[in-house]
Structures are given as structure tokens and as C-alpha cells.
Structure 1
């Protein structure tokens, strides 16, 4: 494997949109997001998308192709994003099977009443629709031994 981890800096987000469509997810390109990617040679194999909100970054997308999972690549990709985004905490909503990964990389539970802004309404809407998600937060000063340098 010839792996490269980097922040994706291109006004044309069609590569990210195409990648998401290959993983069966709908994505509307959004230039306000910060996108971090991992490539194997020239192929995009993973992406983390974060949107800056007033008091936090919202981890709004995290995809890694299935045969690249369980190799530590997701942890490394998230570590890159966390190192670059030290001014605010990162908030995400996680499904039950995702929570152990997020806990391992430094995220902790976040009470709904502590959440403000558009993500609060989004979380309430998802719960009403039956999604079993939990709010998690990673503070900039969090040290997670699982995040490689």
C-alpha cells in the first residue's frame, strides 16, 4: 500500500461526491466543509468531513472503504483532522456499532442539553425518525493513546 494522508484542497468536490456515491451515500458538495482524505496510490479510500459551527466542528461524514477498515487508517485520518482543528471541540453523532471506535480515539458522551445550534435540531429530528444515535465530543486537549502521530 502506498498511503497518503492529507487535507483535500480543491474547489471541485466531485472526487469526494463520487467517492461517497461508491459507498452508497448521498453527498452534496459543500465548500464550507474541511475534508481530510487517505489515498492508496491515486485512489481515494477514506474521507473525513467536518463543518465549522459557532462553538464546535461537526464531524458530518466519515467513510473508509471496507477492505481498508480495521487497519488503523481511520484512526490516523481522524488524528490528522484533530491535529489541524485544535481551536474547537469536534462533535459527532454515532450509531451503536461506531461508538467503541470513537471512544477509543478520545470522544466522550455529550449531553443533549449541552449542544447548541443547528446540530441540536438535527439530532432531535434524527431521534424522532428512529435513529439510535448518541452524541459524542472530542475536546481539543483530549489525549487519546489510540491516535497515532
Structure 2
């Protein structure tokens, strides 16, 4: 699989990056807000959903699927504020599982200003107050095997 390098400038682009990062695991210590640069950055271990889809197709021919994760960097630009909920910023080793990223424009504003929210399992969240959507996702190296795909409570039925 080639390394991903994606950039988002609108909600449609954000949806693509959100889908690629669904079930990514991030440590609290691997995220940082850089207020002078108006930047929020993080390092994540993302589940390779594209490979999973390809393997699911191949499994119809009785080939056992192989699951992979990839280390990636995520960079949010033009960030004016960061608010966190549901986790301790001082617990640098704590791991968060990303469920989705969404954007909500500022009510009554004609500008592209708004909030990008990163929603994690267990009710944790990070809200980034942004001037506009400007996000980059970039893989940082080779993939590694993992034993199983992420599971969600609704998958158990």
C-alpha cells in the first residue's frame, strides 16, 4: 500500500480524513497545541481501512484477511483555541480511540470559522476553534500487522 498524504480544506475533505482515521489510537502525550503557530498536531496509529476492505473482498475467495496499522501524523492549521473533555491531559500515556472528526461553522458567521471536533470512545473529545478547515494526514512509515480489526459494540450482534 502506498503511504497516504491527504489535505482537507472543506467538510467533504474532512470526511475523507475522518474515515481514514476512524479507530486510530493516539496517546495523550503524542498530541500538542502550538498556540504561537496556531497549530494542533498529533501522532496516531491508524487502522488501514483500505487494506481491510481489499482483504474483505479477497476473503470471499477463502484467503484469510490480514489487518494492518500505520503510524501517521495529523496537523491542524489556523487553530485559535483548544478545549478537551473526558480525559486527563497530565496522563501522557493514556490512549484514546478516535471515532470521528466533524466540523461545525460558527453560527451566523459568513466566514469559514468554526469548530473541528475530534470524538473519541468513552465520551472524550477535543474541540479545535479554527479560522477555517486546513488539515493534513500523512503516513510516517511502513505498516505492521495487527491480530484483528477494531470492534464496535453494535458489531457484536
Larger RCO, structure (CA 8 Å, separation 6 or more): 2
The alignment's TM-score, normalised by the length of structure 1, stands at 0.26
Q: Of Structure 1 and Structure 2, which has the larger fraction of its residues in strand?
A: 2
Q: Of Structure 1 and Structure 2, which has the larger fraction of its residues in helix?
A: 1
* Larger CA Rg, structure 1 vs 2: 2
